């Protein structure tokens, strides 16, 4: 009697990992101008000078991380070849829901020698963590590039963004050099920084636009050639994935996920060819997953504000005034066990950000002779799906019993 998996064969995939999020392409497609800007901003590092600080802005899935990994890998390789370049150390930290202390602690532990005890989670101050980080930077020397992914999620980023650019001027480091690379999905993040931080950073900004259908098709065609056995993925399937993703949010991640899910559906059905019909079959499922990811990419308070609008809009069956959002927001935050924002202005700022990012539609409300400006808000996506996605995010964040 044969085993359960005895009849399993893979007639579609040659290298499935090419369609996974963690895959790093060895060639960056459809981002030539962004790569060139990045290259220019980092050129000083090849001559032993401190590099520019760089901030990348753009929606999730538009290539910010892939381009960063590619450019920094190329920079490190070139630096090894040049006598004028110091050794380049790249350290990455995801700032989602982290404090300045925890982010600096992560950088410290990444630079400490192997076998050394980790820097404590609790006890030392943030100043102690910075001091230890500078000690490790000086020990290693060279140029340190700190990649701060989801920098807009960092609680109170001002101290960190003010500290690093002034580290050499303040005598914290002498031999080592440092450059910051901030990655954010929020185009308005810079507006939240204090004036002194903005003037200190003097960063080089690179904006990543969404992909159009033609660009997505180029990317998908390249991935398909690597991922699939020759002849198993028809061109119409690639075109369908590109068209759907371009119409939604221009995300390469969404297009690639859609192609992978379509191939899995074909494989499950016993087909040896991935077609546009398979793409259509899995589209709703992938869109739901992508929506959850897009919501999860936002800060916790932005998510709570979005959920408040969705729940109030569902209850009223109409768009929602800002003060109504605030009244709904507070019990939503309490229900999930989160401290809530106390000012209407803070909630208005999150509403503006969510509008700019495409989550909300904003309409002016005519206040008649009283004058002033007032807005109404509505969620620009399925309300129940938004609420279900938020519930999933909260439940997944709960610690196991």
Cα 337 to Cα 351: distance, rounded to the nearest angstrom = 21
Which tokens go with 152? 């807009």
| Contact assessment for residue 148 and residue 154, using Cβ atoms and an 8 Å cutoff | yes
Alpha-carbon dihedral of residues 297, 299, 304, 305, nearest 10 degrees? -100
**E-strand stretches of 254-345:** 320-321
| Contact assessment for residue 163 and residue 194, using Cβ atoms and an 8 Å cutoff | no
- Residue positions forming the annotated binding site for ATP: 62-66, 211, 223
Cα 34 to Cα 149: distance, rounded to the nearest angstrom = 17
For the stretch 387-393, contacts whose Cβ atoms lie closer than 8 Å and that sit 24 or more positions apart, written own/partner, are: 387/307, 387/310, 387/311, 387/314, 389/288, 389/291, 389/292, 389/295, 389/296, 390/295, 390/303, 390/306, 390/307, 390/310, 392/292, 393/292, 393/295, 393/296, 393/303
Q: What is the CA radius of gyration of the chain?
A: 24
| Contact assessment for residue 45 and residue 163, using Cβ atoms and an 8 Å cutoff | no
- Residue positions forming the annotated binding site: 62-66, 211, 223
């Amino acid at each position: 009697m044969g085993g359960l998996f005895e009849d399993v064969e893979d007639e579609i995939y040659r290298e499935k990992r090419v369609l996974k999020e963690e895959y790093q392409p060895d060639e960056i497609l459809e981002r030539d101008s962004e790569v060139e800007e990045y290259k220019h901003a980092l050129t000083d590092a090849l001559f032993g000078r401190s590099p520019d600080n760089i901030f990348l802005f753009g929606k999730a899935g538009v290539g910010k991380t892939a381009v960063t990994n590619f450019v920094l890998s190329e920079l490190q390789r070139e630096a090894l070849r040049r006598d004028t370049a110091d050794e380049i150390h790249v350290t990455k930290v995801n700032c989602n829901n982290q404090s300045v202390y925890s982010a600096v602690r992560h950088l410290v532990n990444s630079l400490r020698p192997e076998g050394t005890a980790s820097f404590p989670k609790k006890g030392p101050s943030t100043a102690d963590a910075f001091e230890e980080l500078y000690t490790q930077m000086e020990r290693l020397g060279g140029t340190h590039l700190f990649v701060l992914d989801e920098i807009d999620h960092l609680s109170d980023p001002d101290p960190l963004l003010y500290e690093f650019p002034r580290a050499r001027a303040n005598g914290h480091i002498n031999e080592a050099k440092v450059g910051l690379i901030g990655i954010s999905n929020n185009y308005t993040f810079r507006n939240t920084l204090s004036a002194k931080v903005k003037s200190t950073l003097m960063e080089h900004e690179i904006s990543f636009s969404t992909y159009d259908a033609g660009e997505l098709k180029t990317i998908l065609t390249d991935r398909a050639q690597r991922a699939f056995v020759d002849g198993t993925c028809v061109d119409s399937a690639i075109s369908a994935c590109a068209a759907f993703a371009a119409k939604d949010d221009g995300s390469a991640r969404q297009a690639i996920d859609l192609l992978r899910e379509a191939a899995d559906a074909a494989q499950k059905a016993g087909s040896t060819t991935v077609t546009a019909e398979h793409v259509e079959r899995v589209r709703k499922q992938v869109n739901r997953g992508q929506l959850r990811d897009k919501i999860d990419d936002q800060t916790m308070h932005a998510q709570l504000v979005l959920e408040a609008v969705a729940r109030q809009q569902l209850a009223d069956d109409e768009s929602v005034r800002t003060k109504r959002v605030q009244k709904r927001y507070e019990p939503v935050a309490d229900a999930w066990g989160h401290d809530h924002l106390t000012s209407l202005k803070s909630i208005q700022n999150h509403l503006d950000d969510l509008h700019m990012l495409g989550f909300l539609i904003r309409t002016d409300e005519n206040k008649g002779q009283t004058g002033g400006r007032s807005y109404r808000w509505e969620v620009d996506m399925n309300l129940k799906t938004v609420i279900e996605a938020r519930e999933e995010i909260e439940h997944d964040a709960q610690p196991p019993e």
